Amino acid sequence: TAPGQQLRALFYVLPPGESSFRTVEEVPDYVEKSIPFFIAFIGLEFAVSWVQKHKLPGRINDGISSLSLGILSRLPDVLFRSVDLISYIYIWNKYRLFELPWDSPWTWYLTLLGVDFAYYCFHRLSHEVNILWAAHQVHHSSEDYNLFTALRQSVLQKYTSWIFNLPMALFIPPSVFAVHLQFNLLYQFWIHTEVITNLGPLEWVLNTPSHHRVHHGRNPYCIDKNYGGTLIIWDRIFGTFEAEDAKVVYGLTHPVNSFDPIMLQLRPLAHIWNTFWATPGFCNKLSVIFKGPGWGPGKPRLGLPEEIPEITGKEVPFNPSVPGYLNCYAVVHFAVIVDLYTELLGTVTLLSQGTTLLRIAFIILSLTSFGLLMENKPTAGFLELIRCLVFVGLYKVGYLRSQFASLGYAYEV
């Protein structure tokens, strides 16, 4: 059945016979169709964590921040086709050397390995090249580790990752590539959890929650380890594997301490800009961009391991105190934005470009406002008042629409 296929797609267990297509247009949007399963698994994670540890696996402020970043990362796709597919199809049409059969199981398995190896290469460079890290660090900025964290993605990262897939466009059909690009992404959702401990022999081959917890850690033993997407074999081959050992403390070595999705995207770029101009010498300036985030004049390419902050076990996550009613307010209003976002995805082909841009701008305004509310910033109340007035105005004149017409009056209230 279709729901069964979507569920199995999350775990990369849709075999070639069920997931091979002649053209790109026939390839389902597995990611969008998996959204109900994301919600169901998040609920399951909360239930299991409560039973196991008598506590929830995350915090409201961090969860809203992660979901906001996930929505923000998908907004460009509302306006443009995926840059991964555009570039891949261009190379395929212009420069392919030969064409593997789209319906061969061997092509399917080769693409599985090719997409995952390309992801390993890109992911590793995203930690070792400062300008790439500035985009990727968004995913590591959470100090919680749960399924919300999987949805915390960068707006900018996709505009560099596409390059690593292009060699496959010389011989692998775009329809096969489009399937595995989604499967590789979907697989990485369920490994962002602490409720699964060890998977036995599968730990030798697959990327698992245990391996990926290490990757998200800021303990010195966790830094720059376990880059795999679906498979962990690349890390074992190239010497970047590390097994989970001491309790992992999550987040960045130098936390950003913000829930504002725009700030989380742009602050690292501002840091590179300031460092670039403050660093003397042309070669050193280039090194600021293309060497590791920990590099400085006179240091190795990836910086000095001894400069990584030690973990004491007493680290306290960024968690500004806000009244309980404000958390409830943010959750309710965020749910409204999720509804509006989902409705936008379903109707974008019917909307004018002006209406689409207006809805996107309102969603970005809302996500920013929620972030400032969670930080208890003095300006948050004023911005939220403006946002609510804008919402009522746009809803009254029909520029915003809910999926559920019966909720229109409730939304205005």
Q: Is pLDDT larger for residue 251 or for residue 313? A: 251
Higher pLDDT, 264 or 403: 264
Distances (CA, A) of 154 to 61, 183, 261, 349, 388: 18, 19, 10, 25, 27
> Percent of the chain, pLDDT > 70?
100
Model pLDDT, residue 300:
94
51 is written with which tokens?
Answer: 């039973």
Q: Give me the residues paired with residue 217 across strands.
A: 250
Residue 189's pLDDT is: 97
Rounded CA-CA distance 373/291 in Å is: 36
Q: Among candidates 303, 317, 251, 235, which has minimal Cα distance to 275?
A: 303
Looking at the predicted structure, is the pLDDT value of residue 53 above 90?
Answer: no
- In sequence order, the 6+-apart residues with CB closer than 8 A to the CB of 332 are none
Which residues have C-beta within 8 Å of that of residue 131, sequence separation ≥ 6?
A: 272, 289, 290
With left for phi above 0 and alpha for psi between -120 and 50, is residue 288 left, alpha or beta? Answer: alpha
Residue with more model confidence, 293 or 5: 293
Average pLDDT, the chain: 93
Question: What are the tens digits of pLDDT across the range 182-191?
Answer: 999 999 999 9
Whether pLDDT at 67 is above 70: yes
The H or E element containing residue 382 is helix 380-396
pLDDT tens track for 80-133? 777 899 999 999 999 999 999 999 999 999 999 999 999 999 999 999 999 999
Confidence of residue 345 (pLDDT cuts 50, 70, 90): confident
The pLDDT assigned to 1 comes to: 61
Cα–Cα dist 204/206, whole Å: 6
Per-residue pLDDT tens over the stretch 201-231: 999 999 999 999 999 999 999 999 999 999 9
> Is residue 78's pLDDT more than 90?
no
Per the CB < 8 A criterion, the answer to whether 140 and 252 are in contact is: yes
Residue 401, pLDDT score: 84
pLDDT tier at 289, thresholds 50, 70, 90: very high
> DSSP assignment of 257-305, as one string?
----HHHHHHHHHHHHHHHHHHS-SHHHHHHHHHS-TT--TTS-TT--G
Confidence bin at 396 (pLDDT 50/70/90) = confident
What mean pLDDT is predicted for residues 329-348? 92
Asked if 368 and 374 touch (Cβ cutoff 8 Å), the reply is no
